[in-house]
Every structure is written in C-alpha cells, then in structure tokens.
Structure 1
Amino acid sequence: MDQLFVYKERTREDSLAEVCFGIKPANRYFVMDCMGNKVFSVLEDSESCDRQFYGVGRLFTMNVTDHSNQEVIIMVHPAVCTFCSHELEVQSPPGTTIGYVRQNWHVCLPKFTLENERGEPAIKIVGPCVGCTCCTDENFELVSLNEAAIDRSFGKITKPFSCCGSNADFVIRFPSNMDVKMKATALGACILIDTMYFSWEKGYRAVPNPPTLANIPVS
C-alpha cells in the first residue's frame, strides 16, 4: 500500500449545532486505499468544553478502527499551551507505542519529525507556509532527517486544492516498502496537521510557535 485517501466526515447535525449554538463537533474521518476500499474509521474522543475553549491545544484521543470495527490504532495528543510544540503518540495495538509525531519550531513553515517507538527521529515533514498557497495543492513533504533536496522527497501528505483533483481532504503517499509502523505514524501526522492548520474556527488556528528557551533548536 503506497497511498491513503483521508476524508473528513461532517453531518448536517454537526453543521447546525456549530452554526446555531457554536458547538464544535469532534473530528471524524474515514480512510480509503487506492482501490476505493475503506480501511479505517477515525473518531476523536475529547471533551466538548475543551474543543470550545482550548481549540487545537486540547487533549484528545483518536480511535482508529478497521473494516470489522476492531480498534487497531490509538493516537494520543496531550494538552499543550500556546507556546508549546505539539506532539502525537501513536499506539498499535492500543497500549503499545509504535511512533511519535513531534512539531519542530520554525519561524514560518510547518515542520514535524516522525519518530520510532524509542523516540528516535526517522523522517522529517516540511510543509508550505500554510495559507500562503493560492489555488494549488498544499504539500507536506516527507524528507530525510537533514531535509536535503526536498524536490527529491520520498512521500508527501497533500491537502488537495478544493476546486480540482481528488475530492479527498488529504492524500498520503509513501513508499510501499515503508515500515507499517511508520505508515501508521504518517497517518497520525496527517490527522495532527489537519487539527492544527485546517480544522479550526476563528482564533483557534495553530501558527508556528513563538520561540522559547524550551523549543528553540540548538542547530
């Protein structure tokens, strides 16, 4: 498997509740392969008041089930303050950590590191200046740890331009021989990217963190 298509689910009831009462719904997704088969359903577990008042910094868990409705992956996002970097722990089976997604501070670009179960960096993700791209896809490139030659990236998480191309909300591309744990972690990165940069109400959108002593890179 070298591609996943991520679709965001939103019901009419969710839309009415948000428009009429300002109640922000929990995020829901379904994931399909390139043959059109549904492989995963993803449901956010979080408190309504946290979604309202803490926005992208809220504590949440993403429960991922397969086609037989078995829970196969859990993604845990701890609560973070405005000045802290985001992270996501990926567990599969639930209770067994297989990877982490960590935000890296940058003055204007979204950057993340995918780590293995031991917290060792494996892959970097470098995104565009979100909101500055116009009438084009937004690509978050999977690159080597030294971020060399982004034009030779070996995978990407794409937010397609809504007026053309795929009707998926996100398309994840990675080498078919990539470790399955890292593929699951890349799916977690996609969910985190959507939560931080595309799934927001006014005032809740994430921006690259202001520098602090805790998150300024040393090199």
Structure 2
Amino acid sequence: MIIKQEPELMEIFCHCEGKNRYSIRDEHGREFMRATENTCCCYMRCCCCTNRRPFNFTVDDFDEHEIYLDRKVSCNSCFFPRCMNKVVVTAKNGETLGFEKQRWSMCKTYFNIKGGNSEKVLRISGPCCTTSCCCGNIKFTIKDMDGHQVGSISKEWGGIIQESFTDIDNFCITFPVDLDVKIKAVLVAATILIDYMFFENTKEPKP
C-alpha cells in the first residue's frame, strides 16, 4: 500500500496545524481508501499537544465501509514507560479489529501489532535515527513473532522542498499477500502513528 498525506493550505500559508488527511492507494497508485482526522480542537493541534495529541481517524473505502483509529494523549519519552503510544482499530459495528502498542525502549522504537483478542501477530522495529540522511528513505521493519522480516513501512523521501518546508509525508507499506485484512488495517494505523511520532511538526516554518 501507498499512504500519501494530502497538503493542507492552512499549514502552507499560515503555518497553522490543520487536520491531517491521507490517501491510501494500491501498488498501482489507485486510491481505494481515505483517512481523515476528526480532531476538532485547533488549540490542541497547534499549541498544546501538537504531534502528541489524541486523535480519531475515520478510514472509509467510498462504499460506506468505515473503520476508526483512536489514540489517547501520549508521551514519546522513554522516561515515561506507562505512557507509551497505543492505537485501537475498530469497525463500524463496534468490533475491535486490533491494536498497535508501542514497546518501551531506551534507543530504538518498537511496536507490537495485535489482533482483536490482544494476541501478538507482528512486531515493528524502527531505526535509531529517524532523520533522513543523503536524501534517503527511512525504513521501519515488520517481523513475524519468530523474528523473520515479512515487510516494512518506509517513509519515502519527498524531495528537498517538501522535506524542508512542509510536514507532508508519503509512506510505502509492504506485507505478506495472505495477511489478514484486519491486520492490514492495523498496519495503516501503525503508519499514521509513525508519521505523528517522528515526522509531524518536525520542520520549522520558513518566513
């Protein structure tokens, strides 16, 4: 899957954090889902919590099928292990599809991908440094419970202008063909959380 963050005019011209929106596309670039942030408090987005803010996303497939991503306010610091990031993914009928939960670590970033019954399905490990070097991509590795790599979440280099002047980010997700569709939904949630944790509000506005 390809997840492309859509540009916000308010951010470009006013340097004010708007609601995030993402276009979710297949490997051929065809859009089949869209994720829209429902956070309504401008103060929370711009001044109070910024990228640590709680969020709720609606992900729809243009055919009245929806899933919801929910994160409470959290802390990215390793000094507060009880306040790690967690995203809950639910269906329109209220069924819990799965969870993404950050694991405590001093250096690298780790996440557990869990099913609806809290069973561990996959693990995600991030690099020690999430700053793009030499105009390259930044990769988070997806592994099964036996430690074998089965995919990745890659933050794609968007070019010098996009990377320097905006926080618009594009991601590519690879995973096994036969992966449960519910876990695919959790990987979408994982990608959005990774964007918030490491790439949201990381650029200083330029006058």
Q: TM-score range by the shorter chain?
A: 0.7 to 0.9
- For 1:39, the aligned partner's letter is F
**How many residues are paired up?**
189
Partner of 1:17: 14
2 CA distance for matches of 1:56 and 1:119?
26
1 CA distance for matches of 2:42 and 2:202?
14
How far the C-alpha of 1:66 sits from its partner, in A, is: 1.0
1 CA distance for matches of 2:8 and 2:51?
21
1:49 pairs, out of 43, 53, 56, with 43
SS class of match (1:193): helix
Q: How far does the alpha carbon of each residue in 1:170-198 deviate from its partner, in whole angstroms, 9 at most, with x for none?
A: 00100110011111101110010001111
Partner of 1:32: 25
Change (3 A) 1:27 1:132: closer
Partner of 1:139: 139
Partner of 1:173: 174
Answer yes or no: is the 8 Å Cα contact 1:89–1:101 preserved in 2. Answer: yes
Change (3 A) 1:79 1:65: same
1 CA distance for matches of 2:129 and 2:89?
24
Partner of 2:200: 199
Consecutive unaligned residues of structure 1, counting only runs of 5 or more, are 204-219
Structure 1 residue 120 corresponds to structure 2 residue 129: no
Partner of 1:160: 156
How far the C-alpha of 1:105 sits from its partner, in A, is: 1.4
How far the C-alpha of 1:48 sits from its partner, in A, is: 1.4
1 CA distance for matches of 2:118 and 2:197?
22
Partner of 1:110: 109
SS class of match (1:6): strand
How far the C-alpha of 1:163 sits from its partner, in A, is: 4.1
Change (3 A) 1:140 1:161: same
2 CA distance for matches of 1:67 and 1:159?
26
Partner of 2:128: 129
- For 1:61, the aligned partner's letter is N
Partner of 1:60: 55
Partner of 2:191: 190
1:7 pairs, out of 4, 11, 14, with 4
Partner of 2:166: none
Larger RCO of the pair (alpha carbons < 8 Å, separation 6+): 1
- For 2:155, the aligned partner's letter is K
1 CA distance for matches of 2:93 and 2:18?
24
Consecutive unaligned residues of structure 2, counting only runs of 5 or more, are 161-168
Stretch of structure 1 that moved more, 126-135 or 187-196? 126-135
Change (3 A) 1:196 1:94: farther
Answer yes or no: is the 8 Å Cα contact 1:42–1:62 preserved in 2. Answer: yes
Aligned-residue RMSD, C-alpha: 2.2
How far the C-alpha of 1:36 sits from its partner, in A, is: 2.3
Change (3 A) 1:71 1:44: farther
TM-score by length of structure 2 reads 0.83
- For 1:54, the aligned partner's letter is C
2 CA distance for matches of 1:13 and 1:59?
20
How far the C-alpha of 1:12 sits from its partner, in A, is: 2.6
Change (3 A) 1:94 1:5: farther
2 CA distance for matches of 1:92 and 1:14?
31
How far the C-alpha of 1:17 sits from its partner, in A, is: 2.5
Answer yes or no: is the 8 Å Cα contact 1:44–1:63 preserved in 2. Answer: yes
